[in-house]
Structure 1
Amino acid sequence: MLDIRSFALNQYQYHIYHNHSEIHDDLLSWLATVPLSRAVWDVGEDFADGVLAADIIYNFFPQLIDLAKIHVPRNMSQRTGNWHYLRTEVLPKIGLQLPQMITVDITNGVHRAAELFLLQLRETIQGHLMRARQASHQQSNSGRSYIGGQNRLPQLQTTARQGAILPGINGANQSGINGANYSVTNGMNHSIVNGPNKSGITALN
């Protein structure tokens, strides 16, 4: 299971601090492809309450998150509550461990904390998508191999020891599975306009 605490200490930390403009634009381009309940203008500020993070997770893993537990917060306590739910009940289901100190940084708008989280979340999502694509490809190949074997006529084979002629069916599925590569196009769009809110997230008074 991935731990963002160790993730923050590896090469990505160096990369994000020395290529911030490129990373920022790259994340905005990716976020533009995900249905969100509101526009993104400032990554750190807009992701501080956890609502947009919930939108992203729901878009890719709707069965793993209960949006009724995510609320548009009116204070810091409600904002912290959203992240507590994501950290303890949702993110572990996709193999992502988010230390409490990171959520504190995100909710307080600490410089680039949300971007660091989003980079790891995107990488985790892409890993799940790749494995799903590979599994689908494997099932498709297995089905074609089975049908081909059913329609193939028996061939004659000679055993090396007795020289007898025996009917048999050749052909084992030796097809390989190619993994898909996922990349995100960099863009310079600094605002993201999304469609109507379909998330079902409710606001608290």
Structure 2
Amino acid sequence: MDEINSSKQVSVRDFTTNAVQVLDPGQDVMQWTFGGLSRDSGHFRDADLAKILRNVTAAPASAFKACRTPEVLRIIEILSIEQGQKWGVCTLNEFCKFICLKPYATFWDWNEDEEIAAAAKALYHDIDNLELHVGLQAEQAKTLWPGTGLCLGFTISRAILSDAVALTRGDHFLTVDYTHMQLLSILS
């Protein structure tokens, strides 16, 4: 892939062909290297890994909203959309109904940006056809103001919150063993 200078020029075929070559299943994974790192006794040095993690998290890639996926992840986005189609994943409106949200009536309800809404309408024709991955990724983001942190779209925010609540409610230790009554009996 050295001859390909821009991720915009990488096709799905180029990516998968090269990924298969790089990730040869017959190769011992303990011999894999990346980022110019070398192994000591079969392991990467913690300091080298920490440096990579510090460098990549120092500058966030982007925000949740339309046209904000970094160029380098373009192929990953394409593959995600294709995988969703192969698996028969629900549409955005079907997902909204599933998590008890009001489905979108128009593309402009989903994203107020004229260019984004018009492009989605040209591709999907009907808001009920809008794919889940695209719908969540390009949904109108919440307004950024001081202290807001992540400005996700409403649907993905609700899904993440619902998942967090379900995990908390389903946690045996938080819901059975460490209830307020149990903690009061321990303290007394």
Q: Taking structure 2 as the reference length, what is the TM-score of the superposition?
A: 0.30
Higher relative contact order (CA 8 A, sep 6+): 1
Larger % of helix: which?
2
Higher Rg:
1
